[in-house]
Amino acid sequence: MSAFEVKTQVRRIAAAEYNLLPLLAKKRTEENLQFFRYLQRIPATKLDELAMPVASRNIEAIDCTQCANCCKTLEPGLHEHEIAVLAKHSGMDSQTFQAQHIHREADTGIWFLRPMPCLFLRQNRCTIYEVRPECCRDYPHLLRQGLKFRLRSVLRNYTICPIVFNTLEELKMVTGFFQQSEDQKG
């Protein structure tokens, strides 16, 4: 087994290892499908009770300045009032900023900041940290109620964010998923 193959067995990665995530996610497509089916049996409030402390611990444990992958690969959604704040901090006039850096999704009407990587990112740090959009503050969206109803977006973030990867892998243990898989084999 090669060193890289060994790496794909891991259940926890460091912030700087975010580039492993697409491959790890691909290798676990079937396992994650089964896990999400298994989660359907757990009541939503119970799942939140189990997931919140795990997510909090993993958020604490990761140094985002070693990663910044969300700021490199996602366009944050914006509230309309946030556009003016960002324009002010960009050094551009509002019209130019909007024309160059804001687009609105036709079907949802949601505003997004572009391009990727984010124009406010410098050396893995947000240069407007104190006034960053709510979407950026909330990412990776694990401390909200109703995890069970957001599994599709969680799975997407599993390929991007070490916090989400580590949280989901820990949840496979905490929820008893691995144990029941073993029981089924036996």
Task: Give yes or no for a contact between 31 and 135, defined as CB atoms under 8 angstroms apart.
Answer: no
The number of residues that bind ligand SF4 (CB under 6 A) is: 24
Exactly one of 76, 148, 167, 172 binds ligand SF4 (CB under 6 A); which one? 76
Is residue 161 part of the contact set for ligand SF4 (CB under 6 A)? yes
Residue 128, both tokens: 């407007």
* Angle, helices 94-101/80-90, rounded to nearest 10 degrees: 110
Is residue 78 part of the contact set for ligand SF4 (CB under 6 A)? no
- Beta carbon of residue 155, minimum distance to ligand SF4 (angstroms, whole number): 15
The span of 24-32, 38-46, 117-125, 142-150 binding ligand SF4 (CB under 6 A) equals: 117-125
> What is the pairing mode between strands 121-122 and 102-104?
unpaired
How many CB atoms within 10 Å of residue 116? 14
Q: Which is nearer to ligand SF4, 166 or 175 (CB)?
A: 166
CA distance linking residue 150 with residue 51, whole number of Å = 13
Give the x/- contact pattern for ligand SF4 in 120-159, rule: CB under 6 A: xx----x-x---xx--x--xx-------------------
HEC states along 84-110? Answer: HHHHHHHCCCHHHHHHHHEEECCCCCC
- Beta carbon of residue 16, minimum distance to ligand SF4 (angstroms, whole number): 9
SS3 state of residue 134: helix
Judged by the rule CB under 6 A, the positions of this chain that interact with ligand SF4 are 15, 18, 62, 64, 67-71, 76, 118, 120-121, 126, 128, 132-133, 136, 139-140, 160-163
